[in-house]
Structure 1
Amino acid sequence: MKHERLVIKQQRKKRLRLYAVKLLCVVTTSAVLLASGFFIWANLPLRLAHHTLDVTIKASSGVRSIVAQLRSEGLPVQAMPFEILARLLKVTTQLKAGNYEFKQGVTSYQVLQKIAQGDVSQYAATVVEGWTFAQMRTALAQHPALTHDVADLTDAQLMQAIGARETQPEGLFFPDTYFFEKNASELGIYRRAYELAQERLMLAWTTRAADLPYKTPYQVLIVASLIEKETGLPTDRPFIAAVFANRLRIGMALQTDPSIIYGLANDYTGRLRKKDLKMDGPYNTYTRPGLPPTPIALPGQAALDAATRPGLSAALYFVSRGDGTSEFSNNLADHNRAVDKFIRGMQ
């Protein structure tokens, strides 16, 4: 009897071990299948409502709120699996607010990673060297990704809103490409461009050459704007700057056409006439010596550098050669010969 009970006990243990092995196999297989299915789900391309979706995730949003925001914009992520994935990847507290762009074929895993990394959509607005402030206002007002919060402001009110000391904006915004998230404030772009212009101008002013005929950084800004409009050729800028500086030192009128054109504004017909040169006004540098009252455009870094570090030249005149370069002359006789050659076509 004792032997029989021992055999039965051993058989029972054997059956339990076999059952445990089978159960482990079932659990392992189920776990593998579940993991495989979850992996497939996480990497399965989502069918977006449109080819490209822009979704703005609000600040302080949790996973469930983010799912709701994604789904409301046409991105069909599944709530529970998405939350489980976020927990598995340990990113539930790393999800960042901002505007995100998703394209057709994106996966749930990629969506989660994008938001966790803060890979927000970047938009750009380019302010071009030589633009007037009016051209800058038009370009930013038409930018589709900006929130247009300055439309009802005058130029002076805009300057006040960005904390500027000046009321007249011309020349005071640095030409550059500014990146921002969708629906960023238009006023914010102006503030950034103004602050960058102040920074660049003060750097140019503190590193300027000795004996320049300028008393303030603002005068440098005016000259830089004239240089910007006179030429886009890097090699000519320092020598045009030298001509302006040489003329100012001896009290000679600058006689720069771009300043007259700026003063004419909408009355400019595309060609300067003799009566335009004789019509007195604050921007007529033929009838008035010294600098015009304000910049005439938004000067870039190269123009600022040229204005503060002119080339070594005694030239008082320059004329376009017709190929984008300029002919420089030290005296009127040489200048008249250059005008005959390059403007009148006389050899």
Structure 2
Amino acid sequence: MSKEVILEVKNLQTHFITKRGTSKAVDGIDFILHKGETLGIVGESGCGKSITSLSLLRLIPSPPGKIAGGEVLFKGRNLVELPESEMRKLRGNEISMIFQEPMTSLNPVLPVGEQIAEAIRLHQNLNKKEAAKKAVEMLRLVGIPSPEKRAKQEPFQLSGGMRQRVMIAMALSCNPEVLIADEPTTALDVTIQAQILRLMKELQERLGMGVILITHDLGVVAETCDKVAVMYAGNIVEHATTETLYETPLHPYTQGLLASLPKIDEDQEELYTIEGNVPSAFNMPPGCRFASRCPLATNLCREQKPELIEHESGSKVRCWVYSNKWREQEVVM
């Protein structure tokens, strides 16, 4: 029995119009999220991961940014076309987000319990006393000791791990159906990072949420995600189940990312690196965006942009190597 589709993104395009020109930060991406599933979106800094997450909730600063095309379908509604008043009701209620850095996302002079209670009052029609009680319950749910005491403290009085737990409590306070987590463990040490990821997994299983996890850490993906979308220069270049991606990575960029991971069972004097630089979002090449860094690139790759095609493994990959055109080219050569 197939799982219920809760979010479907079709040809999403987010552009930034500046004096330098138009930056195509997200340039036509597609993915589906099922109920109770975790989708990891991975890639190096600047590839469009965070812009994708902000686009889903229409939080792109405008100007200079705008959603230039595509659809974000949530329970049959296209969020791109919803009035702002409807989006305000949906944000933090049906779809929530954990932002990258809690110190810049939390109000520095307001007790954390009050900040959680404010979100609860906004969406759940509870009075001040009821909302404050639920805020304490949420702090307890995310494993914060002495939640009644912590609820009265301001963010600077809490550790980084506790602040991140507060952000999770706030995001989950209205029982969302989709949770977007943008690099939720970046600033934390590995012990706290493991605790936060385990907590998110437990809460997801309890609440049945769909989760979109934005990260550059392939180790985190292996531990927590059911499926993975690999982004490069505003495009998804590979989409697969986590198991398939690690066992048979198809795209040369994905292969490079996995090759650059440290191997604990091998002596490595230096880590593998992908040569070259990401192309400018203001001046994308006409062909494959990875061609200038790819050891397999031919004139076909440099001149024509590949589509995302389905591979026999079940993965989707944006690479000419797996196409009929590549085989025809080899015959000619």
Q: Which has the larger radius of gyration?
A: 1
User: Which structure has the highest strand share of the two?
Assistant: 2
User: Which structure has the highest helix share of the two?
Assistant: 1
TM-score category, normalised to shorter length: under 0.3
TM-score (norm 2): 0.25
TM-score (norm 1): 0.24
Considering Cα pairs closer than 8 Å and 6+ residues apart, tell me whether 1 or 2 has the greater RCO.
2
